Structure 1
């Protein structure tokens, strides 16, 4: 069984994902967010956003 996903991300979407991912990383880096659980969630979310923005998938 082969599953094929169509790429559905334009240049504007990629730029928005990169900007939001960078903002989330900066929130954690500058200790604006103090909750450890929220910090971990932000790191995971920002990592996924940056990867999707750079790769474009």
Structure 2
């Protein structure tokens, strides 16, 4: 089964973009892979927090 993919445009300052690129190159990490990891972590944390709030309110 093929995975669906979507494109996301991220606006960064030129300096932040270059710093991020350098960090990825230093660690031999693909920039897209790192962004996917960051976004996945944000979503997981949000779901965890939302679940915790819902359980407290119940």
State TM-score, norm by structure 2: 0.39
Greater C-alpha radius of gyration? 2
Flag the structure with more relative contact order, 1 or 2, with Cα contacts below 8 A and sequence separation at least 6.
Answer: 1
State TM-score, norm by structure 1: 0.40
